[in-house]
């Protein structure tokens, strides 16, 4: 569970609600079903025109990753790769086959399996970097769809406001209805801003951040696997991989090495 996402979303919604309450307004006055329909339905419709249907449907799974994501510890990953390097240097590459079951990261398993099978180094690197490119492409698709929703939601909010103004101006015979009509018309603009700036765009940026973290982890794995396959000294491998770790998270043993 990503506490930061939940806290940020909760804080954003709470600030909006508190500002309404403190201003002395009624919450019921800020609820309008047609306005919501224009903003949310319009943003989804526009996103469908920008992205394939499969990508839009997959947004439900993508949004779930914003709340439920497990970030692998980079220092722990470095420690594991160094441990594998020590085994390979002491007992040979074939000895790593017995340790595959204890590895949870499937990308590490892929690299170790190819190294054990005697795959050529350039082939191993090519396959692993191709996998990285595929992961980056999938991540970009989900982020792009959310970016489009964040881009179009305010525009449809403005469209809804214009619709409300036209309806209001067509009923100018009743001056008492002008104020409430104007308020309802402006609600769609507010909804559009909220959907874009509280949900869609922050979620898209969070996906971008998670993607960078995952690709960094995969880059560490690629370099580690290639170093193991080349037979580098485990301490040298540790030094190489620790360049990806902030100094305060490096182990004392790594610093001494």
Predicted model pTM = 0.83
| Cα gap 237→234, rounded to integer Å | 5
Of the candidates 118, 114, 115, 76, the residue with the CA atom closest to the CA atom of residue 220: 76
Check whether 249 has a pLDDT greater than 70. no
Q: Supply the DSSP symbol for 51.
A: S
- Which string of b and e fits 223-238 if b means at least 16 CB within 10 Å? bbbbbbbeebebeebb
CA–CA separation, 171 vs 1, rounded Å?
51
pLDDT of 109 reads: 93
Write out pLDDT tens, residues 200-216.
Answer: 999 999 999 999 999 99
pLDDT for the residue 25: 80
Using the structure block, give the residue that is written with the tokens 């590459």. Answer: 93
* Token pair listed for 187: 């609600």
Give the pLDDT band of residue 256 (cuts 50, 70, 90). Answer: very low
Residue 253 has pLDDT above 50, yes or no: no
pLDDT in the model for residue 246: 74
Dist CA 147 CA 201 (whole Å): 6
Query: pLDDT of 77-130, one tens digit each?
Result: 999 999 999 999 988 889 998 899 889 899 999 999 999 998 899 999 999 999
State residue 28's pLDDT score: 83
Q: Which residue has the higher pLDDT, 178 or 79?
A: 79
Helix/strand/coil percentages in the chain, nearest 5: 85, 0, 15
Averaged confidence pLDDT in the chain: 88
pLDDT (average), residues 8-24: 91
128-177: pLDDT as tens digits: 999 999 999 989 998 999 999 999 999 999 998 998 888 888 777 777 76
pLDDT value, residue 26: 82
Instruction: Identify which of 128, 78, 87 has the alpha carbon closest to the alpha carbon of residue 107.
Output: 128
């Amino acid at each position: 569970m990503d506490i930061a996402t939940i806290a940020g979303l909760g804080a954003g919604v709470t600030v909006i609600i508190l500002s309404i309450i403190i201003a002395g307004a009624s919450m019921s006055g800020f609820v309008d079903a047609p306005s919501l329909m224009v903003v949310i339905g319009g943003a989804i419709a526009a996103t469908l025109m920008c992205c394939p249907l499969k990508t839009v449907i997959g947004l439900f799974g993508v949004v779930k990753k914003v709340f439920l994501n497990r970030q692998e510890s980079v220092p722990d990953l470095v420690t594991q790769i160094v441990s594998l390097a020590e085994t390979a240097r002491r007992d040979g590459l074939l000895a790593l086959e017995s340790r595959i079951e204890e590895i949870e990261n499937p990308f590490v398993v892929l690299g170790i399996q190819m190294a054990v099978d005697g795959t050529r180094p350039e082939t191993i690197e090519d396959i692993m970097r191709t996998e990285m490119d595929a992961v980056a492409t999938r991540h970009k698709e989900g982020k792009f769809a959310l970016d489009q929703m964040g881009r179009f939601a305010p525009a449809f909010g403005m469209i809804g406001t214009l619709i409300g103004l036209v309806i209001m101006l067509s009923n100018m015979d009743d001056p008492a209805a002008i104020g409430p009509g104007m308020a309802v018309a402006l609600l769609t603009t507010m909804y559009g801003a909220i959907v874009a700036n509280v949900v869609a765009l922050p979620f898209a940026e969070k996906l971008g951040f998670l993607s960078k973290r995952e690709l960094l982890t995969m880059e560490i794995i690629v370099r580690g696997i290639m170093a193991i396959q080349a037979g580098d000294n485990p301490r040298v491998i540790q030094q190489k991989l620790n360049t990806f770790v902030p100094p305060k998270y490096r182990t004392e043993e790594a610093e001494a090495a």
